């Protein structure tokens, strides 16, 4: 089956970027925007997405339905799509592209796999530079979705097991988000004690690559903390379900939520230490 019509559920930042690249490459992109905001409707139209008005229509015409929503609603939406496909007697592919634990994708496969062939997807990279992102894929029909590469996407099939692509994504996200969250806590301590200078020098001397990453990643964290935190419980769930213990990532999730509640915008700050100082100063003022 070729990918002539693709349904995109979730016209957020990533959904819009993906839809636009598909549309620009000749794919018919459809969705349903029932009850969505005017802004979302404008975004969809700009990206060339047709609003078919109902999930039934989207499922009926799509060769592939991509779910790119929030981790929180992934199971619920998949169930709804599966039911819709059953009611319509449609059998096509469901790309589960949310950042969720492998076991959650496997649960979805069990739930809807009789109607929709689930392809597990994990996107590493952001919507602002989609051509540099990698779309990891796994599952028995992953190779069919890998044909997205015809439309400019970097795709990579990891295997035929649903869960591998989402696991790959979470092992990456867990590192970027866990490390940056842990580092910020340490820099909050170092800054409070007035020793962040020597601490940073010591990081530079003994682990310069780590410091470089922290300085690159931490400034963008506060503004995106709520969204970026969403996948952290999924990372913990993944590690737990494999017989280990994801406690560090559960703790990092709580810290990321805390960061989000500060409602700070530190985009453009030069490094992690300046973000830490900003937070310390905010705290003093209160």
**Residues of the shown chain interacting with a second copy in the complex, contacts defined by CB under 8 A:** 102, 124, 134, 136, 156, 158-159, 161, 163-164, 167-168, 170-172, 174-176, 178-179, 181-183, 185-190, 192-196, 198-199, 202-203, 206-213, 235, 238-239, 242-252, 254-255, 258, 283
What end-to-end distance do the CA atoms of the chain give, in Å? 60
Which of these, 62, 70, 72, 63, lies nearest to 31 by C-alpha position?
62
Residue 166 Cβ, how far from a second copy at the closest point, in Å? Answer: 9
Residue 18 Cβ, how far from a second copy at the closest point, in Å? Answer: 19
Angle between helices 164-192 and 272-285 (to 10 degrees): 60
Residue closer to a second copy by CB (options 40, 229) is 229
Residue 162 Cβ, how far from a second copy at the closest point, in Å? Answer: 11
Residue closer to a second copy by CB (options 90, 182) is 182
Residue 168 Cβ, how far from a second copy at the closest point, in Å? Answer: 5
Residue closer to a second copy by CB (options 88, 199) is 199
Which of these, 116, 119, 107, 104, lies nearest to 162 by C-alpha position?
119
Residue 118 Cβ, how far from a second copy at the closest point, in Å? Answer: 16
Contact 271, 179 (CB under 8 A): no
Residue closer to a second copy by CB (options 61, 199) is 199
Which of these, 229, 216, 215, lies nearest to 187 by C-alpha position?
215
Q: How many CB atoms lie within 10 A of CB 244?
A: 9
36 secondary structure, DSSP code: -
């Amino acid at each position: 089956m070729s990918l002539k019509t693709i349904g995109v559920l979730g016209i957020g930042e990533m959904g819009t970027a993906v839809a636009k690249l598909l549309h620009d490459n000749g794919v018919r992109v459809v969705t349903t925007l029932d009850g969505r905001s005017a802004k979302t409707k404008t975004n969809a139209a700009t990206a060339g997405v047709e609003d078919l008005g109902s999930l039934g229509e989207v499922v009926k015409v799509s060769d592939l339905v991509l779910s790119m929503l929030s981790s929180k609603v992934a199971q619920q939406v998949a169930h709804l799509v599966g039911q819709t496909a059953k009611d319509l007697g449609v059998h096509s592919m469901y790309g589960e592209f949310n950042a969720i634990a492998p076991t959650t994708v496997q649960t979805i496969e069990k739930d809807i796999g009789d109607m929709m062939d689930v392809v597990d997807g994990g996107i590493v990279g952001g919507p602002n530079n989609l051509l540099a992102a990698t779309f990891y894929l796994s599952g028995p029909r992953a190779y069919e979705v890998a044909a997205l590469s015809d439309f400019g996407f970097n795709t990579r099939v990891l295997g035929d097991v649903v869960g591998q692509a989402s696991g790959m994504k979470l092992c990456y996200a867990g590192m970027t988000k866990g490390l940056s969250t842990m580092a910020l806590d340490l820099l909050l301590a170092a800054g409070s004690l007035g020793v962040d200078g020597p601490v940073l020098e010591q990081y530079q001397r003994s682990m310069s690559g780590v410091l470089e990453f922290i300085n690159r990643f931490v400034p963008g964290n506060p503004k995106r903390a709520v969204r970026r935190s969403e996948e952290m419980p999924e990372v913990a769930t993944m590690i737990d379900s494999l017989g280990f213990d994801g406690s560090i990532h559960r703790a990092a999730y709580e810290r990321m939520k805390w960061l989000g509640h500060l409602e700070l915008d530190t985009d453009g700050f030069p490094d992690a230490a300046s973000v830490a100082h900003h937070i310390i100063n905010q705290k003093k003022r209160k």
